[in-house]
């Protein structure tokens, strides 16, 4: 699962919400496998990235606006 996470991270970028969700799920998988230290590290990285992105007004604005004509 680690290699898949790396591939997705490279394809989408570490700031992509899908990547952050995947990493959160990966951390949960590690916890289920009793690998608490690694899971905690990943969770901290995700939390840090989300905080960084939340503090960036350009990122938040981009998530709130969408050209609905692109859907049709």
Give pLDDT, residue 24: 92
Give pLDDT, residue 38: 94
Please state the domain count of the chain.
1
Q: Burial level of 66, CB count in 10 A (0-12/13-18/19+)?
A: exposed
DSSP alpha helix (H) spans, the chain: 2-12, 17-32, 36-55, 57-64
Q: What is the pLDDT of residues 4-37, one digit of tens each?
A: 777 777 787 778 888 888 899 999 999 999 999 9
10 within domain boundaries: yes
Query: pTM of this prediction?
Result: 0.66
Query: Which structural domain, as residue segments, surrounds residue 15?
Result: 2-57
Query: What average pLDDT does the structure give for the chain?
Result: 79
66 within domain boundaries: no
72 within domain boundaries: no
């Amino acid at each position: 699962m680690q290699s898949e996470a790396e591939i997705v991270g490279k394809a989408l970028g570490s700031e992509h919400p899908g990547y952050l969700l995947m990493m959160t799920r990966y951390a949960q998988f590690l916890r289920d496998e009793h690998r608490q230290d690694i899971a905690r590290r990943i969770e901290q990285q995700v939390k840090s990235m989300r905080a960084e992105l939340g503090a960036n007004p350009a990122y938040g604005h981009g998530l709130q606006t969408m050209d609905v004509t692109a859907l049709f």
